Chain A
Amino acid sequence: MDFATIFRRYTPYVAQVATRILGRNDDIEDLVQEVFSEAHRGLDTLREPRAIRRWLATITVRRATRRLRRRRILHYVGMEPPIDTSTIVEAGTSPEIRAQLAAVYRVLDTISPEARIAWIMRTVEDEPLETVADVCGCSRATAHRRLQEAQAALSKAFRDG
């Protein structure tokens, strides 16, 4: 599979995972470029075509983690832009759902980027725990612990979470 084909096939996936992790899409294009630049350099090293998706997920997670850490610093100094979910949901989504989505992301902002990503990859992207551990670069036990951290925060915030 040539690079352009890989790009066309997997960009929607990379962009979707990144948007869900970050909860915003204001610099998703930059992130996609970064992911595929890294992918471009390593294309020859990938021997198993079926591993491409997971490989891209790993790069995406790594890049998104850096952004989340940067955002936490901006948050501490009061420079983080407010959450605006209007650009990441379909146009017809009700104001109530948008508000609740913003509330979920507010909770996710209070936990570690690693826990947030583990939760998104496991419960939103439906990846098995082994894959979550793999793309997050940690053990299965650590991935499980991060997942529990996120679940606990969400359960505390929302009675049915």
Chain B
Amino acid sequence: MAERLQADPSSLVRSVTSGFDEARVEKTLQLHLRNQRRKVVIRVAAGGALAIAASVIVAFAAWPTHEAAQGIAKRAVSPRSPERAIELADGSRFLPIGEAIVRVHEVGDARVRAELVSGAVDVEIVPRDGREVVVAAGRVTVRVLGTVFRVAREGDRTRVAVRRGRVEVRWNEEASVLESGGEGLYPPEPPSEAGAETDPPANETRVVPRGGWRALAEEGEYERAYDEIGRVGPGAVRDDVDELLLAADAARLSGHPREALPYLARAERLAGSDSRGASAAFTTGRILARLGRAAEAASAFERVLEGEPSGSLAESAIVRAVEAHESAGNRARAAILARRYVASFPDGRWVERMRSLAE
């Protein structure tokens, strides 16, 4: 059976590639998140009967007063959206009401950090020693240690109602503690005139539906999100790095890469030295390269290297910059960067190719 190979077996197997590019990774991630949400719904449904029975008992035995939560519940026009519930590994949950947008930015042993972008959310936190749970809502921050409460955006202010436990509400330089059954609207005083002047005009807020394109994009419905941005028009996307990156995703992943470029440029400018700036520049480079604008693509990839010379995107950015410079006919710069790759990543995946271009 013995035969001679042109290369050793390990080199042959090393040539195997999974074919997972960034678009496929993104698609798989969205699918994964959708599946996870379905599992949460199934878990909620399975525990439904028990939960209803238990909640009735607990309502009478442990929560003598419910005025606070009921107060907000009366104002809420939409029911909870269990299919959009965010459940942490320890059982803590964020339950958006209706079309509310909730983002969980950080989940760790020391801290959980979430943001209520719009609408209202019920939060159920499982107590854990030494862990801080923070929910930001506009100008207000709610700090938690084991509790059940609701946070609702009401215009420029935020209403907090505690059903069980204790929370600390912070705004500007002030703070207040709400005990079980307590409710408050924060900041307590109406916003200052200066603050009111910075609010968008009433007609502008009316044309953007609650949840709107952001909720669609976060669900992976990029085409619908892109259409919604177009329908709403200027003002649909705020000058916020995360929001601009989300809008860029909606554009490029719905087949409109050119339209993603202005969002990415704004995000890169706003992010500054933040790692999201490098991410925006990298995506810009990829789009420009695909559009055949090689020189501009090379410039974008070089900005990644300037911003985060040893960041997670650095290796790919050098290779792509080299390829873009080659395509643009700038061989001298390509060779300089190829040498930089060989020096920085001597065991890198593209080292042989870069070595050949460096000479």
B194 at the interface (CB under 8 A from A): no
Among B8, B12, B18, point to the contact of A18 (Cβ < 8 A): B18
Q: What separation, in Å, do the CA atoms of A90 and B28 have in the docked complex?
A: 21
Chain A 34-67 interface 0/1 with B at a Cβ cutoff of 8 Å (1 = within):
0011001111110100000000000000000000
Q: Are B104 and A100 in contact (CB under 8 A)?
A: no
Chain A 147-161 interface 0/1 with B at a Cβ cutoff of 8 Å (1 = within):
000000010111111
Task: Provide the main secondary structure of the chain A interface.
Answer: helix
Instruction: Indicate whether A104 sits within 8 Å of B13 (C-beta atoms), given known contacts A3-B107, A15-B20, A157-B2.
Output: yes
Q: Are B4 and A16 in contact (CB under 8 A)?
A: no
B356 at the interface (CB under 8 A from A): no
Q: Are A12 and B3 in contact (CB under 8 A)?
A: no
The number of chain A residues touching the other chain, given as a range, is 35 or more
Point out the residues of chain B lying under 8 angstroms from A96, CB to CB: 6
Q: Are B5 and A161 in contact (CB under 8 A)?
A: yes
Q: Are B2 and A87 in contact (CB under 8 A)?
A: no
Q: Are B6 and A97 in contact (CB under 8 A)?
A: yes
Q: A7-B29, A16-B20, A103-B5 are in contact. List 19 more A-B contacts (CB 8 A).
A: A2-B104, A7-B32, A18-B18, A29-B28, A33-B28, A33-B32, A36-B32, A37-B32, A42-B89, A44-B109, A89-B16, A100-B6, A100-B7, A104-B13, A119-B10, A157-B2, A158-B4, A159-B4, A161-B9
Report A's interface with B, CB cutoff 8 A: 2-4, 7-9, 11-12, 15-16, 18-20, 23, 25, 28-29, 32-33, 36-37, 40-45, 47, 85, 87-90, 93, 96-97, 100-101, 103-104, 107, 119-120, 123-124, 126, 154, 156-161
Report B's interface with A, CB cutoff 8 A: 1-10, 12-20, 22, 25-26, 28-29, 31-33, 35-36, 88-90, 104-109, 312, 347
